[in-house]
Amino acid sequence: MEIQNIIEDKNLKLTSARRELLEILLQEDKPVSFDDIKNKIHMDKATFYRNASKFEEESILNSFESNDKKRYYELQKIPHAHFICNYCNAIECLTNIEPIKIEGYVIEDMIFKGSCKKCT
């Protein structure tokens, strides 16, 4: 996935903040919150959330809120489920679970909650 192609496909202007945000998210292998990456980026919180919101509108990013009341973001790639631990708030991508299909419904998110391997 190349940043220039992502931006051009959506007819967006490539700003330094957008480039930086996409570069960081391309490197991550799990969803991240603003707090997770705030020391890696050179933009304020408002700029981060404004760009993340625009990327969600354009179907570049997915997001969800976790048990810790933080919003987590990841690039929209292959649809997959997430597991959130109720004890340590760890988040894992579950790529080995087939997306559920229910006739007449569009499933956008699958989030499982429980106890992770460390907390069991």
Rounded to whole angstroms, the Cα distance separating 109 from 120 reads 25
Query: What average pLDDT does the segment 2-8 reach?
Result: 91
The mean of the pLDDT values for the chain is 93
Closest CA to 110 of 100, 120, 118: 100
* Pair 88, 37 in one domain: no
Q: What's the half-sphere exposure (Cβ side, CA atoms, 13 Å) at 60?
A: 26
Number of domains within the chain:
2
Domain around 7: 3-75
Q: Is residue 120 part of a domain?
A: no
**What pTM value is reported for the model?**
0.86
Q: What pLDDT shows up at residue 64?
A: 94
Q: Is residue 119 part of a domain?
A: no
* Pair 48, 98 in one domain: no
pLDDT grade for 1, boundaries at 50, 70 and 90: low
Q: Tens of pLDDT along 39-94? A: 999 999 999 999 999 999 999 999 999 999 999 999 988 788 999 999 999 999 99
* Pair 14, 65 in one domain: yes
Inter-residue contact 38 to 21 (CB < 8 Å): no
